[in-house]
């Protein structure tokens, strides 16, 4: 399962009611500082200090309960993108700001399901718009991985032609396998 944390709701002062009602009692740190420490140093300190058992919402102020699972206004577009990809909210929230944790089985992520592998049959210097499809293209290398937005001309189901300059950026040549995701 792939998880994606969405920023939780913050009030007009950019404060997290959930953090103020729970996290600050364990950490004695403002939300922004604790969030920064977690991002830079990892989240082990959270595990060390937070309760190991579920938190009973009945013990929190209503203001904190009301934001559980609610996305920050600036994160709504990201949440919609994840939902479009097949992610859903199953009730798990981030311990800092109670933002929704979206999840999806890897095999069910739309971009993974719709991506395909193709072999480069030829490199071309230019292509017409009506014969090419806009795609996200990657070189499939574990080291020196590269990904670009490029137009791909389909020779047949398993072979494609790409621009010489795109092949150069990807570090590939004729015969190489590339991963393609057509954009719709």
Residue-wise pLDDT tens digits, 11-45 = 988 889 999 998 888 888 888 888 888 888 877 77
Q: How many residues does the chain have?
A: 184
pTM for this structure? 0.79
Q: What domains are there in the chain, each with its CATH number?
A: 2-108 (no CATH), 115-182 (2.40.40.20)
Q: Which of 8, 16, 70, 72 is catalytic?
A: 72
Q: Note whether 153 and 142 are within 8 A (CB).
A: no
pLDDT of the chain along its 184 residues, tens only?
999 999 999 998 888 999 999 888 888 888 888 888 888 887 777 777 777 778 889 999 999 999 999 999 999 999 999 999 999 999 999 888 999 999 999 999 999 999 999 999 999 988 876 778 899 999 999 999 999 999 999 766 789 999 999 999 999 999 999 999 999 7
Would you say the C-alpha torsion 17, 20, 23, 25 has a positive or negative sign?
A: negative
> Residue 152: helix, strand or coil by DSSP?
strand
Question: What is the number of other CB atoms lying within 10 angstroms of the CB of residue 17?
Answer: 24
Q: CA–CA separation, 20 vs 156, rounded Å?
A: 58
State yes or no: is 154 an active-site residue: no
Q: Note whether 179 and 116 are within 8 A (CB).
A: yes
């Amino acid at each position: 399962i792939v998880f994606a944390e969405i920023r939780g709701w913050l009030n007009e002062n950019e404060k997290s009611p959930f953090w103020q009602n729970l996290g600050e009692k364990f950490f004695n740190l403002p939300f922004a500082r604790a969030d920064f420490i977690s991002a830079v140093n990892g989240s082990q300190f959270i595990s060390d200090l937070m309760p190991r058992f579920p938190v009973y919402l009945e013990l929190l102020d209503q203001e904190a309960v009301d934001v559980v699972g609610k996305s920050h206004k600036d994160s709504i577009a990201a949440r919609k993108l994840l939902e479009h990809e097949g992610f859903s909210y199953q009730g798990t929230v981030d311990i800092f700001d109670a933002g929704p944790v979206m999840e999806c089985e890897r095999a069910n992520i739309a971009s993974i399901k719709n991506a395909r592998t193709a072999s480069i049959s030829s490199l071309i210097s230019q292509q017409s718009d009506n014969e090419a499809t806009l795609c996200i293209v990657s070189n499939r290398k574990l080291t020196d991985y590269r990904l670009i937005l490029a137009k791909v001309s389909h020779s047949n189901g398993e072979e494609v032609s790409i621009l010489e300059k795109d092949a150069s950026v990807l570090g590939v040549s004729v015969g190489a396998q590339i991963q393609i995701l057509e954009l719709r």
